[in-house]
Structure formats: structure tokens, C-alpha cells
Structure 1
Amino acid sequence: MSGMIHVVGTADTKGEELAYLRDLIVAGGSAARIVDLGTREPTIPVDVAAEDVAGCHPDGASTVLGGDDRGTAVAGMGAAFAEWCRRHGDQVTAMIAVGGGGGTSIACAGMKELPYGLPKIMVSTLASGDTAPYVGTSDIVMVPSVTDIAGLNRLSRVILSNAAQALLGAVRNPAPEATNDKPAIGLTMFGVTTPCLTAIGEHLRDRYDCLVFHATGTGGRAMERLLGQGVLSGLVDITTTEIADLLVGGVLAAGPDRLDVVARSGAPWVGSVGALDMVNFWAPETVPSAFEGRQFYHHNPNVTLMRTTPDENTEIGRWVGQKLNACEGPVRLLFPEKGISALDTEDGDFWDPEADAALFDALTETLNDTSRLVPLPHHINDDAFAKAAAATFLELMDD
């Protein structure tokens, strides 16, 4: 199967579309094979049978096939295909899938297991909605099918052809091999901590390839996934705002396993409390009624920020402290005493020394080793803070 483009979907219901995609790819000069993710008899010949995929399920193919409950079958085939991709990913040159609700869920479960940079396109009836559950932290390209995927028509042929040609273009014209042999590190940034991270990058770029991640929930998860895979050598995790969203109920939440990979890897970690003064919501009308009367800042018509309270910051500080207590590797948490975001300044909308003090006190009380907590008499966006963060990271990396 080396060098193959894999065309993926449920061949019991989407056979015509799968065959069309395969023929387009073959006509474009690339080898292709169809992987069946269906749970019933396929309507076209396939190269990888659904039974072979289902057999990768940890509880066997019978868990996936032969039952009467469609939801159970879809979930089971998704888990099986994820394992299939883990086992056979090195034999996949690129992947294109087509599906409705169930097919999208199954195909994306597998594609998320493929390496970053490997071309992967999902043509889906769900692609114009909330795609986060399907894309996750991967680089899957979602293409709206526009019409339902229920047989070829004058529009679906164009949509599928464009998707196939896009995939062929990526395969034929791969990105140049990286010439940067510097070790890669991860940095977290938000709009309200941009000056800090920009300056830190300038201080570290001579020695490290700096990969900056937007702290939007998926950004932190992607960064930690790369750390776990050994792609990143360490983290400058200045903007931990995703934790506030996790604990208070915002829309850009970290997962409950945030920082766990730092403990498992033992990698150097220099972090801070960047933007923990805020919880993120979408447009004002989307803010839950439970937060009525709170202090808000309207970042733009679609993003609403809410100031964290002293009690919330106490909870956040304890949570972070407990996570860092589990880390046996070199970690330092730098605390900017003059403000933790661009809004947290003496004349800023979120200036609240009491709330910031509650965060610092909770960290102090929770950390087993308070030498890991380093208070600095700067604002987070002061150049002096950025210099201290960069110097601390270099010190930990050199130890």
C-alpha cells in the first residue's frame, strides 16, 4: 500500500461518490484505493474491506458489525478506524473522505491519528457548522458538500472534483523539507499577551524554532500533543487562559489533562498566568444567564470577555499548583505582579489587584516547592518580563 492515496467512506451508502473520487485521482496520475467504513454490504468493489477495518477494534470486529444499533456501530467503527490509521498510517500518502453525519465522525476519528502535514480532506455535509468535534487538534481540511451526499449530481461532481484536485496538488507539490535544524519549542499566546510572546520569540529564535500556539483550547491541546510526540523540546507556556475557561465555563477551554504531558515528559516548562484574568464567550447574547451582572469587556461583536473573581482565581491557582506538583522535570511559574494581560493594567478594564493576589496566594499555598513560583515586579507585557522568561527558559534547557 506504499504511496497510495486512500479514499475513505461508507461504501454501503456512498459507493458512487467514492468510486468517482478514486477515478479522479487515478486519472490525475496517482494510485488510489478505497477503504470501506460501512457496516453493510458495499455497493462497489473496495480495496480495504469494512471487516478488515472493524477487526482493528480492541474488542474485535463483532463489536462493530452485525448489531442493530446504528449509533453503537458508528462509534465502534470510528474507534476501529482510528486504530487502523495508527497501524497503517506509514502507508498512507494522503487521504480523502466523504460522508454525512456518521461517515464524517468515523472518517475523522481515523484522520486525526495521521501525522501533521500529511494531506487529508473531508468532504462533509457538516463542514459549514461546528467542526471542532471532527477536526480536533488535527489539520484536516473540511470541505462543505453543499448538497446531501446521496448520489452524484451536477453540483456534487464539481465539489468532489475540486476536493480531489486540491488533494492531488498537495501530493504533487509537497512543502520543502525543513532546513531548520534548531530544536523546536512551543509558546502560548493570546491577543492580550502578544507583546510578551513577540519579545520572548525574539530572545529565543537564534537557538530555537519557536512554534506559537493561539491559546484557544485547541491551541494548547495541539501544543501538548506535539510535546508528547517529542516534536517539541520544551514549552514557554505564558498564556494559560484556557484553564480559566475550563474551570469557570468559557468557550475556549483546555481539556482536564492540561499540563499532564509536562509531568509525563519531564520537559522544561516555563509558564505564567497570562490572561487568567478573563473567561471567553462568544457574542454577548451567548453568555450564560448565571453570569448576569459580571464585569465584561466586548473584544469584538463575536467575542465577550468576563473578568475572573478572587474566588475563581483561588480555584484556578490551586488547580495549576496541583498540576505542577506532579511535574518532576524543571518547571518555573513566573508571576507578573503588575498585571497579567493587556486589560489588567492600572487604567485597564480588568484591573483587580485583589483577584490577582488571590491567584498568587493560591499558587503559593498549593505548590509543594515554592521556589518554582517566581514573582516579578513587572507587567506581563513589559520587555523586562519577556527577558526574564527567556532567560529562565534558557537556564532550564542548559541544566
Structure 2
Amino acid sequence: MSDKTILVVGTYDTKDDELNYIADVIRGQGGGVKTMDISVLGDPSAPCDYSKHQVAEAGGSSIQAAIDSGDENTAMQIMARGSAALALRLYREGVFDGLIVLGGTMGTDAALDLCQALPLGVPKYVVSTVSFSPLIPPERLPADVQMILWAGGLYGLNAICKASLSQAAGAVLGAARAVEAPDFTKPLIGMTSFGKTVLRYMVGLKPALEARGFEVAVFHATGMGGRAFESLAAEGAFAAVLDFAPQELGNHIMGSSISAGPDRMTHAGASATPQMVSIGCYDLVDFIGWQDVPSTLAGQEVHAHNRLLSSVMMTPEQRREMARAMCRKLSAAQGPVTLLLPLQGGNEWDRPGGPLHDAAGLAAFCDEIRAQCPDNVTLLELEAHINDPAFTERVLAEFDHWVSSGVITP
């Protein structure tokens, strides 16, 4: 008997040797294997546990329809939909504990959909010829996916590619054995933030909320953190969210590649999860530090955070645009929303005398928030900075009111 079972997925008509090698490594380490074929035209050397016909049918189609399409992109999207639906069903039935998918660009395209379908915490490994490539947009990466480059593996087994394949096989089995799946026994609060040098509210809020019987997960709002936050919000995993660092929304509307995608600040509202929202780093657009400043932001002041990440200060009009975007997103919320507006600033660098202080820009943003705030949102203006104790105290007072009125259940 094996302790954990790994689902091995790929196009067995073209990558039979490599996929079987991965399966053998997993079995050699004491793991179990289930196999899924997402090829269209050919067949594996031996039957898979889940055939290409079952995969296509799980997506509401058929292999014949994929073949008749006459287009490999259309055909592979049929297999992507089917493999995602089938894998999710199998996981819920307890058939497997972790997933590994092998592919070139075609297989990777399907793998991303498959991995997106599985909950956060399920070990997901993609072995790809385009791992880490700019071909893969950030919004298609599941928040907890692991990738390894399939070096030297375009056609057949060799000593180089075996190094990648065996590492990935061992990694997914090890992850399945070691993972501590999310335990939602305690009600969970989702919070967005950045490090303590720029935003400090979580230092006081986390222990205070834990003392009230809640667990607190703080998400680093640098693209992938926001994706993880939104993914869990979409599942209704949070008792409430404290979305105090909305900068990823600004990044997206200003065209930065450091984005959590177009759905940022939507899933908590769609799932009717109570939200408190604020303005942490609302005024900054992050971009990749080792690249040139985007042409659309040329001439604006730049703050270099480190060699990986730099930030551009928004102009007053861009801040107004950010305010409008926040209000549009929050207007669709199905649950209670409180927007806390600290009138003295939204990050440590924008205090008076700080390197990014811009009183006119902050005033423009606040004016636009007041003008655009939708009727379903309670606007609380605070004569404080977001990093002041007064902000934390007001958040806790509002939180306690929600608990006492039954909006949040401890």
C-alpha cells in the first residue's frame, strides 16, 4: 500500500516515455500513481486510468469533436476543460493527493487550467519547456503552483531531462506527504498588506483578532499574493476580509505586469463576504525593478524598493482614476462593505516630510472617493494615517460591532 497518490497528466501519445518515467520514480519512492491522458490523436503504450475519451466527455465534448475541429488549439482547449473538470471531481472523491502535469506549450496551456481548478493547498507541479517564461501571464498562474523547467526534454529521455523529471516527481510526492491542508475550524480573516516598513496595521490587528478567536492570514499584495487572496475569497473561505492594500488594482489599471488580474477586489463581494477596505499604497504603481519605467508612467517620481521592485508615484488624476475603480468594484458587493479613509495618508513614505508625500494627490483621491462612494458602502473618514494606532483601533471597533450585530460569527 502506498501512502499518497499522485495524478500524472500529459499527452501520452507524444510523451509516453517521459510520463511513465515520472510514474516509475513516484512508485519507486513508495507513492501511488493514477494516470490521465489528455492527447487527442494518438494512444498511450498502455491504457491510462483516465482515458482521453473520459477527459473530453468530462468537458462536455468528445475526442471526435476535437479531431473534427481541425485546429490543435481548439482541440487542446476541449482537453483542458475536460481535464480540469475530471481532476476536480476525482480530488473531491479522494482519488489523489497531488498532481503533476508534463508539457510543452500545448500541455502547459492545458495544465494551467487544470491546476486552477484545484483548491489552494493541493500540491500542483507543472514540468514545462516554458516554465518561468513571459509566455505565461500572471493571471493564469494558480496561487500555489510549482513549476520546473523541462530542460533538454523536447524529444525523448536523456540524462539532462531525467534530472528535471525525477526532481519534480520527488517534489510532488514529498509535498503530498508533508502538506498541512488548510484547517477552517477557526473562522478565517483574510488581510492584504505589505511589509512592516511601509504598512504596519497588521502588527496590532493580527494578535487582537486572534485573541477574539479568529485566525488571520495576511497576503502580500504583489500580484500572486492577491491572486491567492481572491481565490480563497471566491471559495467563501473567509469570515471577513480586511482588504487594506488595494495597490494591485492600481497596478492593473495602470498596465503593470505586477497584477493580480482583472478580478481583484471582486470575489469577496460576489460571495457576500463582509469587507473592510482601505487605501494602503493606493498611490503607487509597482513595476519590475530591473526593467525600464513603462512609457505610460515616464517622467513620474520613482521609488526603488529593491532590485526586483520599484514604484511610481501616481499623479492626482491617476489617483482619481484609482478611487473610481475602487468604488466601481465595491458597488457590486453582495455583502456589507466599510471603506476606511485615513485622511493623513496610506503608506509610511507619504507622511509629511516623507519622500513620497503629496498632499494635493491625497486630497484629490479623497475627494473622488467621497464623490463616487456607492450607496452600499459605508464610508468612515479618519483624521489619522493608516499606520497610526487610531486606524487599528477604529478597525477593531468596527469589527467588534460586526461581531456583536451578527455580521461576523466567531
User: TM-score, with normalisation over the residues of structure 2?
Assistant: 0.89
Offset of 1:137 from its aligned partner? 3.2
SS of residue in 1 equivalent to 2:58: coil
CA change 1:272–1:252 in 2 (3 A) is: same
Q: What is the alpha-carbon distance in structure 1 between the residues aligned to residue 276 and residue 265 of structure 2?
A: 12
Identify the residue that residue 274 of structure 1 maps to in structure 2.
280
Question: 1:362-373 to 2 correspondence within 5 Å?
Answer: 362-369=368-375, 372-373=378-379
Aligned partners of 1:260 and 1:394: how far apart in 2?
A: 24
Return 5+ residue gaps in structure 2 as ranges: 406-410
Task: Note closer, same or farther for the CA distance 1:254–1:114 as it changes in structure 2 (3 Å cut).
Answer: closer
* Structure 1 position 8, deviation (Å): 0.8
What residue in structure 2 maps to residue 216 of structure 1? 222
Residue equivalent to 1:306: 312
* Contact 1:5–1:93, Cα closer than 8 Å, also in 2: yes
Match among 146, 150, 153 for residue 148 of structure 1: 153
**Match in the other structure for 1:82:** 84
Asked whether the equivalents of residues 125 and 147 of structure 2 are also in contact (C-alpha less than 8 Å), the reply is: yes
Residue 267 of structure 2 corresponds to which residue in structure 1? Answer: 261
8 Å Cα contact 2:99/2:123 also seen in 1: yes
What is the one-letter code of the residue matched to 2:30? G
Identify the residue that residue 168 of structure 1 maps to in structure 2: 173
User: In the alignment, is residue 73 of structure 1 matched against residue 79 of structure 2?
Assistant: no
Give distance in 2, aligned partners of 1:63 and 1:273: 50
Which residue in the other structure is 2:121 paired with?
117
Distance 2:10 2:377 in 1: 54
Q: 1:221 to 1:295 in 2, by over 3 A?
A: same
- Alpha-carbon contact 1:104-1:134 (below 8 Å) kept: no
Summarize deviations over 1:215-238 as a string: whole Å, max 9, x none: 123322321221221221110111
Letter in 2 for 1:24: V
The 2-side partners of 1:284 and 1:118 are apart by 33
Does the aligned pair in 2 maintain the 1:277–1:344 contact within 8 Å? no
Distance in 1, matches of 2:62 and 2:370, equals 50
Q: Supply the AA of the counterpart residue of 2:288.
A: W
Structure 1 length-normalised TM: 0.91
After superposition, the C-alpha distances for 1:286-307 in whole angstroms (9 at most, x for unaligned) are 3222322111112222322111
Q: Distance in 1 between matches of 2:77 and 2:44?
A: 22
Q: Report what 1:287 is aligned to.
A: 293
Q: Which runs of 4+ in 1 moved over 6 A?
A: none
Distance 1:370 1:359, change over 3 A: farther
CA distance in 2 between partners of 1:21 and 1:42 (Å): 18
The CA deviation at 1:361 is 1.2
Structure 2: distance between partners of 1:355 and 1:245: 17
Within-5 A mapping of 1:218-233: 218-233=224-239
User: Matched residue of 2:369: which SS?
Assistant: helix
State the match for 1:33 in structure 2. Answer: 34
1:102: how far off? 1.0
The residue that corresponds to 1:20 in the other structure is 21
Choose the corresponding residue for 1:336, options 326, 342, 351: 342
> Which is further off, 167-176 or 13-22?
167-176
**Residue pair 1:193, 1:239 contacting (<8 A) in 2 also:** no
Pairwise CA distance, 1:81? 1.6
Give secondary structure in 2 for the equivalent of 1:280: strand
CA distance in structure 1 between the aligned counterparts of 2:88 and 2:181, rounded to whole angstroms: 25
Contact 2:112 2:141 in 1 (8 A): no
Deviations 1:70-90 (A, max 9, x none): 222223322222222233222
Q: Is the 8 A contact 2:198 2:349 kept in 1?
A: no
1:138-190 deviations in Å (ceiling 9; x for gaps): 32211122212311111222322222222232334443885x73211100012
Which of 89, 93, 98 is the equivalent residue of 2:97?
93
Partner Cα separation in structure 1 for residue 143 and residue 282 of structure 2: 26
Counterpart of 1:129? 133
The alignment partner of 1:222 has SS state of helix
1: CA distance between counterparts of 2:338 and 2:279? 12
1:385 is displaced (CA, Å) by 1.2
Letter in 2 for 1:296: V
* CA shift digits 1:10-67 (9 cap, x unpaired): 1111100111112222233333122111122124212211121112223544443344
SS in 1 for 2:85: helix
Out of 49, 52, 55, which is 1:53 matched to? Answer: 55
Instruction: Give the match's secondary structure for 1:335.
Output: strand
Contact residue 56 and residue 84 of structure 1 kept, 8 A: yes
Q: 1:138 to 1:201 in 2, by over 3 A?
A: same
Contact 1:75 1:106 in 2 (8 A): yes
Report deviation, 1:240: 0.6
CA deviation after TM superposition for structure 1 residue 370, in Å: 8.7
Structure 2 CA distance for aligned equivalents of residues 390 and 291 of structure 1: 37
Q: 1:33 to 1:145 in 2, by over 3 A?
A: same
Unaligned segments of structure 1, at least 5 residues:
none
Counterpart in the other structure of 1:6: 7
2:329 partner amino acid: K
Residues 24 and 286 of structure 1: is their aligned pair in 2 closer, same or farther, counting only changes over 3 Å? same
Residue 104, structure 1, aligned to residue 104, structure 2 = no
Cα deviation digits, residues 230-284 of structure 1 (max 9, x gap): 2211101111111111222222234333332233222211110110110111136
